[in-house]
């Protein structure tokens, strides 16, 4: 039976963090309720359309999905169960912000099969949390974490963020050891990006340019410090028994995030909710509408339609909730295979490339691979191709080489 | 046509005093175009001209005006370029006229170019008719300005029309005075043909179209004509005059008239502005005076960003040269930039305009090297060479001494900024000549300046140090002996020929240091460390380092939306395409141009 990943987007949060450029905003009770109804219509629509599909993973992301009252989440999950078949061993994750969890919520999630929590801690330092604009303290996080364990969750991820304003290696070392000491099954450690349209951008845009150019920034840590924090993170987490399996992701044995690996390996995934992205059949990418009111309005009468591809002017099958549809040519698919797959530490499997495209990796990329190998950014053997540690550090440079002319 | 009913004139003014706006009003008031049909500034019809608000090429238009005396007059309005770079073209346009309207801003009064232009007009025996513009401005002082014109320039201005070209106020008065104050042309329609070329354009079907003023004689379709300076001969296929933005064919052009001649001339080099057209079988005795081959003052290398476009660049330069004889070019090669051309220009504005036209009209992406002037290199063996490309500088052991071009500069400025302007001129190695007060509050300062000190950003510096009040004019004076050295830039230990330039010895350290700093900001980080060095005669005088890139990661991916990630990688790859490979270092094309803007203040 066809396997499929499902992503459900909840575009609400209690308060937007200073660095966040995700599709998310605070909303009143009325919008929440209207959105949940619309979302359920979309889920129902696809459930009927894709009867044959079986869900291997579900990921409820946001925003802050745990901020929704539990009856909303319950009705969303009820709809999923009703219209989709879900594999027995499916990984079902919900993103939670510390301070928004209650025993009732955690129990309710459990009832609907949610078996993995992703907790956004970001930092164990209350000063840093304040700068980030987070709504919780480290103590609040600890209480939520313990509560989750009490409720029986045995697969928990903790999100961390480094390269924060005024951060040094030592400060992040404390966050890291406090986090690892809790023994979560999975840890993500992302470097802070200063994104346009955020309060951080207005505050730090010039500093970010200095940082990028290798000069001494005023408030953001120097590039050398960021580099050292990254190395330290790898060492500390390795020592604590975590394996790095992707550029920013670390897991205890058997606890990698299967949903995210699906993105890197170009598995089929269906995204529902505001702005959600889908990859269908390996060659069709879709994006949902990004305006909340339009989304809610159009969900009332969701149906199939045709989209004109911007580049090829070809008509593509789509749905009235889509804002963009794109058909990937074989070249684009091969590019994605490489630049997504090489984010994983073990790299890409040559045999999968051949099965997908009928060419060997070397047919297409022998020159790029030779060059990157000479630059010590990449290694290969008869089974796989992967980035070296240096290649992972310079992944933008290395991955860009895999774009075809 | 009755000569007494023709008026050939131009409009002269200091930049921004409203020359083009007045031209628009005159055209509008005579009914050639309704104001609805008019785009602002009809005569400036190159996109570039309209955007920059300046006139680059000469343009002409024919207008019919019904005067108060009940008669219909033909006005030929010839627009002239307004920038010092184009002095020769101005002089040819003036030679095609019988009179000039002098526009003076009622608030600003007489400026450096006002004077320069009036003297040029008087040199050509034109009757100058002053007009006071912008009297609608709150700061307008028309009476004071009239007095100034009479005192400073020495021409009668009491009954000068006080107008606002912007609002159209008193334009009628200007039109009437054109009839009464500007003389009708003279010339004998039956004499041998003598026609002055004041501009030319290239048309894919008709070949070269020359714009000319018929001084003597008559020309018509079928005549066999000859260009006196170049000797080119051809049969006339069409003659006509200028409508607004279009050519209107007619039967013949006779003495006193302004119009165009198309003779199927394909070779652009055959027609030169300033040349005289005559009949091949019945030539006039001598050409009209004043023709000269204009010589460029500023040189730079121009290279196609995509080396496959080299033939396109060659064709484009050839087409541009047709109505811009002052543009010169010859092929050259650079280790860093490949095949390109060393191009000569009248000045930096001219250079920028050609560059923009090549990019816009011909869709070319260009890399331009630092502009330089022509140095004279006196070799120990007695030879003297003109050096336009720093890479060709002989070995120092072969050089006896070098000379650089000097200009005489006239700067007009209000008295409070005299000190600041003098300081600027001293910094640029200027030699003080004189200063006179034209009025109580305004001075005319004269300096001799090395040309290579003013081709970069002198004009900008002048404006900023005088809050925009200084005006500037210059002309080439001659060559003087000078201590000059070649400054080389080494990137990752390799000399980049396209970045070398000639500099005054005592300025070398300062310039070298600034170049290195600037390049450090322009060259992207590589996987290895890149030293950037400035050297004179093999000796390093400044150094910067582009540190190796250590971290370049896009960490997050949003719910499976990979479009941002792809965009970022594409941008990275696209950036690479716009780079030039020198050794194993990739240098962005912008770096070659950006080193010119060294912020010397």
Residue among A162, A287, A298 nearest A233 (CA): A162
- The residues, any chain, with a CB within 8 Å of residue B286's CB and separated by 6 or more, are none
Euclidean distance between CA atoms A308 and A64, whole angstroms:
34
> Is the pLDDT at B39 greater than 60, yes or no?
no
The tokens describing B127, both together, are: 């009757």
Out of B547, B558, B568, the one facing A396 most closely (by C-beta) is B568
Q: What percent of chain B has pLDDT over 90?
A: 34
State mean pLDDT over B323-334. Answer: 82
A261, closest residue in chain B (CA to CA): B560
State mean pLDDT over B261-280. Answer: 82
> Is the pLDDT at A316 greater than 50, yes or no?
yes
Residue among B596, B581, B595 nearest B337 (CA): B581
- Mark yes or no for CB contact B569/A403 under 8 Å: yes
State mean pLDDT over A283-306. Answer: 93
**Which is it for strands B579-582 and B585-588: parallel, antiparallel or unpaired?**
antiparallel
Q: How confident is the model at residue A43 (pLDDT cuts 50, 70, 90)?
A: very high
What distance in Å separates residue B569's CA from the closest CA in chain A? Answer: 5
> A99 or A340: whose pLDDT is higher?
A340
* Mean model confidence pLDDT for chain B: 84
CA distances from A303 to A50, A140, A202 (A): 14, 44, 41
- Mark yes or no for CB contact A396/B566 under 8 Å: no
Contact status of B574 with chain A (Cβ, < 8 Å): no
What distance in Å separates residue B551's CA from the closest CA in chain A? Answer: 5
- Phi first, then psi: give them for residue B118, nearest 5 degrees: -65, -45
Residues of chain B with Cβ-Cβ distance to A278 below 8 Å are 560
Q: Which ranges of A50-168 does DSSP label H, i.e. alpha helix?
A: 70-83, 103-111, 126-132, 138-150
> A381 or B305: whose pLDDT is higher?
A381
Out of A61, A271, A393, the one facing B553 most closely (by C-beta) is A393
Ranked by mean pLDDT, which of A155-169, B146-160, B186-200 comes out on top? Answer: A155-169
- Phi first, then psi: give them for residue B43, nearest 5 degrees: -70, -35
Residue among A267, A280, A405 nearest A344 (CA): A267
Q: How confident is the model at residue A401 (pLDDT cuts 50, 70, 90)?
A: very high
Give ipTM to 2 decimals.
0.88
CA distances from B439 to B115, B168, B183, B434, B462 (A): 14, 31, 32, 15, 21
Query: How far apart are the two ends of chain A, measured CA to CA in Å?
Result: 37
State mean pLDDT over B33-46. Answer: 46
Secondary structure E strands in B18-114: 59-66, 72-79, 99-105
> Is the pLDDT at A268 greater than 70, yes or no?
yes
pLDDT at B600 (0 to 100): 46
Euclidean distance between CA atoms B157 and B166, whole angstroms:
21
How many other C-beta atoms can be found within 10 angstroms of the C-beta atom of residue A255?
20
DSSP string, B483-512: -EEEEEEEETTEE-GGG-EEEEGGGHHHHH
Global pTM value: 0.66
Residue with tokens 């980035």: A387
Out of B521, B556, B569, the one facing A193 most closely (by C-beta) is B556
Q: Which ranges of A166-222 does DSSP label H, i.e. alpha helix?
A: 169-181, 199-213
Lowest-pLDDT range of A278-282, B19-23, B259-263, B489-493: B19-23
Contact status of B433 with chain A (Cβ, < 8 Å): no
CA distances from A107 to A91, A140, A149, A209 (A): 17, 19, 11, 46
In CATH, the number for domain A3-264 is: 3.20.20.70
Q: What letter does residue B270 receive in the DSSP assignment?
A: G
What distance in Å separates residue A61's CA from the closest CA in chain B? Answer: 7
What distance in Å separates residue A190's CA from the closest CA in chain B? Answer: 6
Residues of chain A with Cβ-Cβ distance to B576 below 8 Å are 400
Task: Please answer whether residues B515 and B489 qualify as being in contact, where contact means their C-beta atoms are separated by less than 8 angstroms.
Answer: yes
Contact status of B563 with chain A (Cβ, < 8 Å): yes
State mean pLDDT over A309-326. Answer: 87
Task: Please answer whether residues A160 and A176 qualify as being in contact, where contact means their C-beta atoms are separated by less than 8 angstroms.
Answer: yes
DSSP string, A280-344: ETTTEEEEE---HHHHHHHHTT--EEEEE-TTT--EEEEETTEEEEEEPPHHHHHHHHHHHHTTB
Give the best residue of A8, A394, A405 to mutate against chain B (max B CB count within 10 A). Answer: A394
Please give the helix or strand (H or E) that residue A251 lies within, else none: strand A249-251
> What angle, 0 to 180 degrees and rounded to 10, lies between the N-to-C axes of helices A169-181 and A223-239?
20
Give the best residue of A62, A339, A399 to mutate against chain B (max B CB count within 10 A). Answer: A399
Give the best residue of B529, B548, B569, B572 to mutate against chain A (max A CB count within 10 A). Answer: B569
Lowest-pLDDT range of B149-158, B219-228, B370-379: B149-158
Out of A214, A285, A399, the one facing B547 most closely (by C-beta) is A214
Residues of chain B with Cβ-Cβ distance to A285 below 8 Å are 562-563
In the stretch 506-545 of chain B, residues with CB closer than 8 A to chain A read: 521, 525, 527
> Is the pLDDT at B40 greater than 50, yes or no?
no
- Mark yes or no for CB contact B553/A191 under 8 Å: yes
- Mark yes or no for CB contact A393/B525 under 8 Å: no
Euclidean distance between CA atoms A206 and A212, whole angstroms:
10
Out of A22, A375, A397, the one facing B552 most closely (by C-beta) is A397
SS3 A220: coil
Task: Please answer whether residues A340 and B562 qualify as being in contact, where contact means their C-beta atoms are separated by less than 8 angstroms.
Answer: yes
> Is the pLDDT at A283 greater than 80, yes or no?
yes
Out of A277, A395, A399, the one facing B561 most closely (by C-beta) is A277
What distance in Å separates residue A163's CA from the closest CA in chain B? Answer: 12
Lowest-pLDDT range of A134-138, A334-338, B190-194, B241-245: B241-245
SS3 of B342-409: EEEECCHHHHHHHHHHHHHHCCCCEEECCCEECEEEEECCCCEEEECCHHHCCCHHHEEEEEEEEEEE
> Is the pLDDT at B53 greater than 90, yes or no?
no
SS3 A386: strand
> Is the pLDDT at B599 greater than 60, yes or no?
no
- Mark yes or no for CB contact B576/A400 under 8 Å: yes
Out of A61, A339, A394, the one facing B552 most closely (by C-beta) is A394
- Mark yes or no for CB contact A190/B558 under 8 Å: no
Domain ranges of chain A: 3-264, 350-400
- Mark yes or no for CB contact A230/B552 under 8 Å: no
DSSP string, B524-574: PP-SS-EEEEEEETTEEEEEEEEPPP--------BTTB-HHHHHHHHHHHH
pLDDT at B35 (0 to 100): 43
Instruction: Count how many pairs of residues, chain A against chain B, have C-beta atoms within 8 Å.
Output: 98
Helix/strand number for chain B, H first, E second: 14, 33
State mean pLDDT over A177-185. Answer: 97
Residues of chain A with Cβ-Cβ distance to B555 below 8 Å are 190-191, 193, 247-248
Q: How confident is the model at residue A78 (pLDDT cuts 50, 70, 90)?
A: very high
State mean pLDDT over A172-191. Answer: 96
B571, closest residue in chain A (CA to CA): A400
């Amino acid at each position: 039976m066809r396997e499929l990943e499902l992503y459900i987007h909840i575009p609400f949060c209690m308060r937007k963090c200073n660095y966040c450029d995700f599709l998310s905003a605070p909303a009143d009770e009325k919008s929440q309720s209207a959105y949940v109804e619309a979302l359920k219509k979309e889920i129902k629509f696809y459930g009927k359309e894709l009867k044959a599909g079986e869900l291997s993973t579900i990921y409820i992301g946001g925003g802050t999905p745990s901020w929704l009252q539990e009856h909303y989440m319950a009705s969303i999950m009820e709809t999923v169960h009703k219209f989709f078949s879900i594999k027995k061993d499916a990984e079902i994750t919900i993103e939670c912000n510390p301070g928004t969890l209650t025993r009732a919520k955690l129990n309710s999630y459990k009832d609907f099969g949610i078996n993995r929590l992703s907790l956004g801690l970001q930092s164990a330092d209350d000063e840093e949390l304040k700068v980030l604009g987070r709504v919780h303290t480290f103590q609040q996080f600890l209480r939520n974490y313990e509560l989750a364990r009490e409720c029986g969750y045995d697969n928990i991820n903790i999100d961390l963020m480094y390269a924060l304003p005024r951060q040094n290696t030592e400060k992040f070392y404390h966050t890291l050891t406090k986090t690892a000491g809790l023994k979560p099954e999975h840890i993500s450690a992302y470097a802070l990006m200063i994104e346009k349209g955020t309060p951080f951008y207005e505050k730090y845009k010039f500093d970010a340019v200095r940082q990028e150019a290798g000069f001494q920034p005023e408030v953001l840590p120097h590039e050398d410090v960021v580099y050292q924090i990254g190395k330290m993170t790898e060492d500390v987490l390795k020592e604590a028994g975590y394996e790095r399996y992707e550029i920013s992701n670390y897991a205890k044995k058997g606890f990698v995030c299967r949903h995210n690996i699906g993105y890197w390996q170009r598995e089929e995934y269906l995204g529902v909710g505001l702005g959600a992205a889908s990859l269908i059949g390996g060659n069709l990418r879709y994006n949902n509408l990004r305006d909340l009111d339009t989304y809610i309005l159009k969900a009332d009468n969701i149906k199939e339609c045709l989209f004109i591809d911007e580049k090829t002017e070809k008509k593509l099958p789509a749905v009235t909730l889509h804002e963009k549809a794109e058909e990937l040519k074989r070249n684009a698919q091969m590019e994605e295979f490489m630049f997504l797959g090489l984010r994983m530490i073990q790299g890409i499997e040559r045999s999968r490339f051949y099965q997908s495209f009928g060419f060997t990796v070397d047919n297409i990329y022998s020159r790029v691979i030779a060059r990157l190998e000479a630059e010590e950014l990449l290694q290969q053997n008869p089974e796989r191709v992967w980035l070296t540690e240096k290649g992972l550090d310079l992944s933008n440079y290395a991955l860009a080489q895999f774009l075809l002319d | 046509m009755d000569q007494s009913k023709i008026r050939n004139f131009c409009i002269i003014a200091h930049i921004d005093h409203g020359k083009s706006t007045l031209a628009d009003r005159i055209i509008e008031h005579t009914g050639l175009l309704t104001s609805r049909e008019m785009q602002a500034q009809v005569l400036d019809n190159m996109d570039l001209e309209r955007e920059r608000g300046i006139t680059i090429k000469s343009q002409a238009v024919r207008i019919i005006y019904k005067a108060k005396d009940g008669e219909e007059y033909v006005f030929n309005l010839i627009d002239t370029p307004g920038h010092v770079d184009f002095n020769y073209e101005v002089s040819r346009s003036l030679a095609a006229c019988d009179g000039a309207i002098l526009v003076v801003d009622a608030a600003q009064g007489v400026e450096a170019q006002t004077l320069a232009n009036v003297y040029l007009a008087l040199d050509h025996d034109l009757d100058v008719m002053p007009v006071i513009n912008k009297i609608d401005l709150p700061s307008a002082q028309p009476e004071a300005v009239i007095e100034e014109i009479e005192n400073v320039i020495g021409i009668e201005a009491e009954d000068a029309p006080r107008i606002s070209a912007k609002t159209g106020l008193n334009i009628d008065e200007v039109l009437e005075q054109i009839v009464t104050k500007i003389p009708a042309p003279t010339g004998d329609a039956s004499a041998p043909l003598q026609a002055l070329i004041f501009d030319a354009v290239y048309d894919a079907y008709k070949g070269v179209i020359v714009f000319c003023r018929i001084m003597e004689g008559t020309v018509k379709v079928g005549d066999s004509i000859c260009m006196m300076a170049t000797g080119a001969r051809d049969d006339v296929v069409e003659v006509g005059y200028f409508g607004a933005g279009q050519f209107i064919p007619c039967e013949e052009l006779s003495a006193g008239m302004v119009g165009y001649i198309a003779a199927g001339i394909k070779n652009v080099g055959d027609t030169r502005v300033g040349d005289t057209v005559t009949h091949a079988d019945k030539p006039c005795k001598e050409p009209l005076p004043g023709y000269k081959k204009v010589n460029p003052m500023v040189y730079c290398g121009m290279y196609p960003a995509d080396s496959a476009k080299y033939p396109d660049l060659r064709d484009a330069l050839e087409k541009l040269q047709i109505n811009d004889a002052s543009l010169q070019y010859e092929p050259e090669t650079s280790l860093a930039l490949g095949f390109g051309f060393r191009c000569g220009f009248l000045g930096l504005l001219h250079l920028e305009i050609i560059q923009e036209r090549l990019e816009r009209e011909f869709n070319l992406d260009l890399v331009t090297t630092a502009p330089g002037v022509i140095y004279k290199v006196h070799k120990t063996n007695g030879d003297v060479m003109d050096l336009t490309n720093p890479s060709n500088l002989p070995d120092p052991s072969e050089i006896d001494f070098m000379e650089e071009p000097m200009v005489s500069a006239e700067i007009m400025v209000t008295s409070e900024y005299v000190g600041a302007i003098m300081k600027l001129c001293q910094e640029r190695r200027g030699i003080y000549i004189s200063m006179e007060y034209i009025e109580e509050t305004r001075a005319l300062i004269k300096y001799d300046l090395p040309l290579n000190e003013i081709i970069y950003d002198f004009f900008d510096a002048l404006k900023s140090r005088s809050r925009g009040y200084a005006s500037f004019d210059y002309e080439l004076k001659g060559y003087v002996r000078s201590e000059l050295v070649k400054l080389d830039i080494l990137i990752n230990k390799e000399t980049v020929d396209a970045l070398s330039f000639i500099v005054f010895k005592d300025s070398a350290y300062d310039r070298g240091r600034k170049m290195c700093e600037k390049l450090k900001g322009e060259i992207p980080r590589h996987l290895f460390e890149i030293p950037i060095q400035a050297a004179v005669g093999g000796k390093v005088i400044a150094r910067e380092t582009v540190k190796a890139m250590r971290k370049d990661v896009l960490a997050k991916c949003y719910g499976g939306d990979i479009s941002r990630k792809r965009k970022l990688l594409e941008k990275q790859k696209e950036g690479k395409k716009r780079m030039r490979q020198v050794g194993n270092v990739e240098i962005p094309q912008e770096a070659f141009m950006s080193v010119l803007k060294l912020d010397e203040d």
